[in-house]
């Protein structure tokens, strides 16, 4: 019989709430403890999800012997510190995206995972959806010939000051790390490759974050991805992969899709559509537990190399824009 994993969550914000909702539909997963900067938040979150242990500090959660695996859901700027603390305390980690603020921080965290021999994964949940698996299978079967281009935008509108972490450079604010990471991952899914050339332009806001950005990634053989991110512009949330003999449309929301359509140049379209069981984190949660059951330290679907590839692309873009976070 499969082992039951006792999960702990660090942070009680928006995405922790969605993740906890999804944990509830996963067999062999229990939400054992939560850690917050305040007892009031830990208790409110604990009450909502019926969590037995509520810690008023992150350290309390990290050192909790009743926790088998930790989900890190704090702002980007804390991912490195929180993930390393968990690993050093002997806990496997699923850390939210972006894995860290930059590639150098990512390497530090991965080095600790290697030293401790513990499982570590970036929670790039998009890669685990059945619709994305179907897209990968269409591509692998040659259904659109060679994928030649990807078009994908992730923009939404947010008032200045709303959702504070997005506007605060100290918390890794801006559109690229928050949502631009999804189009970059989608191109990586389609091309199964790292870009050879990276070119972008961004509007840096008064607060010193990238409010909107457009970028073109070039891959070997002339393959191209035209991508964008924004926190004050609503974009199309479908994504497209164009191939020699057809195209694939991933229906909105492409980063948590339930549907995709294969549109061959000749012949009838085929749509894959599978309603989500919950919000969508259930797929990555089950994959983490499958990896732990198998004794893996990396997830084959989201290995450290992919994290480093995407973080490196984002570093290169920020370098072009002169966008640095405090301490970089
Ligand atoms: N996979 C996805 O679809 C997805 C979607 C949204 C966000 N994310 C990622 O998840 C992470 C958290 O995003 P979120 O939208 O959940 O953020 P959020 O609503 O602001 O929550 C972040 C939580 O982190 C803790 N925290 C610690 N230091 C903080 C600080 N200085 N300022 C604010 N919060 C602080 C707080 O929990 P306590 O008060 O309990 O300590 C807070 O509730 C980000 O890295 C983001 O990229 C992923």
**How far is ligand 1, taken at its centre, from the CA of residue 12, in Å?**
7
Residues 30 and 157 grouped into a single domain: no
Nearest protein Cα to ligand 1, atom 24: 74
Instruction: Write the pLDDT tens digit of every residue in 211-224.
Output: 999 999 999 999 99
Residues 164 and 268 grouped into a single domain: yes
Q: At what angle do helices 103-116 and 304-321 cross, to 10 degrees?
A: 160
Residues 156 and 188 grouped into a single domain: yes
Residues 144 and 23 grouped into a single domain: no
Residues 86 and 169 grouped into a single domain: no
- Predicted TM-score (pTM) of the model is 0.98
Which residues form the domain of 40? 5-123
> Domain holding 170: CATH number?
3.30.360.10
| Ligand 1 atom nearest to 164, measured from its CA | 20
| Ligand 1 atom nearest to 178, measured from its CA | 47
- Our count of domains for the chain comes to 2
Q: Exposed e or buried b for every residue in 9-41, given b needs 16+ CB within 10 A?
A: bbbbbebbbbbbebbeebeebbbbbbbbeeeeb
Domain boundary among 77, 99, 123: 123
Residues 215 and 100 grouped into a single domain: no
**How far is ligand 1, taken at its centre, from the CA of residue 76, in Å?**
8
Instruction: Write the pLDDT tens digit of every residue in 43-102.
Output: 999 999 999 999 999 999 999 999 999 999 999 999 999 999 999 999 999 999 999 999
Residues 55 and 165 grouped into a single domain: no
Rounded mean pLDDT of the chain? 97
Domain boundary among 123, 146, 175: 123
Long-range contact set of residues 108-114: C-beta below 8 Å, sequence gap at least 24: 108/80, 108/84, 109/79, 109/80, 109/83, 109/84, 110/304, 110/307, 110/308, 112/83, 112/84, 112/87, 112/88, 113/87, 113/297, 113/304, 114/297
């Amino acid at each position: 019989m499969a082992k039951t994993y006792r999960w702990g969550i660090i942070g009680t914000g928006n995405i922790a709430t969605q993740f906890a909702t999804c944990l509830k539909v996963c067999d062999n997963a229990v939400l054992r403890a939560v850690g917050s900067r305040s007892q009031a938040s830990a208790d409110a979150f604990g009450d909502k999800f019926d969590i037995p242990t509520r810690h008023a500090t992150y350290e309390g959660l990290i050192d909790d012997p009743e926790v088998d695996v930790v989900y890190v859901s704090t702002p980007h700027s804390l991912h490195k510190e929180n993930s390393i603390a968990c690993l050093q305390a002997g806990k496997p980690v699923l850390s939210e995206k972006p894995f860290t603020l930059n590639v150098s921080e990512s390497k530090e965290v991965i080095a600790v995972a290697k030293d401790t021999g513990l499982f570590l994964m970036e929670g790039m949940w998009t890669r685990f959806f059945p619709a994305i698996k179907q897209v990968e299978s269409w591509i692998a079967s040659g259904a659109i010939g060679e994928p030649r281009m990807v078009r994908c935008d992730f923009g939404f509108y947010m008032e200045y000051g709303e959702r504070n972490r997005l506007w605060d450079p100290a918390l890794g604010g801006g559109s690229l790390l928050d949502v631009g990471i999804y189009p970059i991952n989608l191109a990586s899914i389609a091309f199964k490759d790292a870009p050879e050339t990276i070119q972008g332009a961004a509007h840096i806001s008064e607060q010193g974050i990238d409010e909107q950005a457009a970028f073109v990634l070039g891959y070997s053989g002339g393959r191209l991805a035209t991508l964008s991110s924004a926190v004050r512009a609503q974009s199309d949330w479908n994504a497209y992969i164009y191939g020699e003999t057809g195209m694939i449309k991933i229906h909105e929301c492409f980063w948590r899709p339930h549907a995709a359509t294969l549109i061959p140049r000749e012949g009838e379209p085929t749509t894959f559509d599978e309603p989500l069981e919950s919000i969508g984190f259930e797929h990555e949660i089950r994959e983490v537990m499958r990896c732990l059951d198998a004794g893996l330290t990396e997830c084959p679907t989201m290995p450290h190399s992919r994290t480093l590839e995407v973080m490196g692309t984002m570093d290169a873009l920020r370098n072009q824009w002169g966008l640095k976070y405090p301490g970089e």
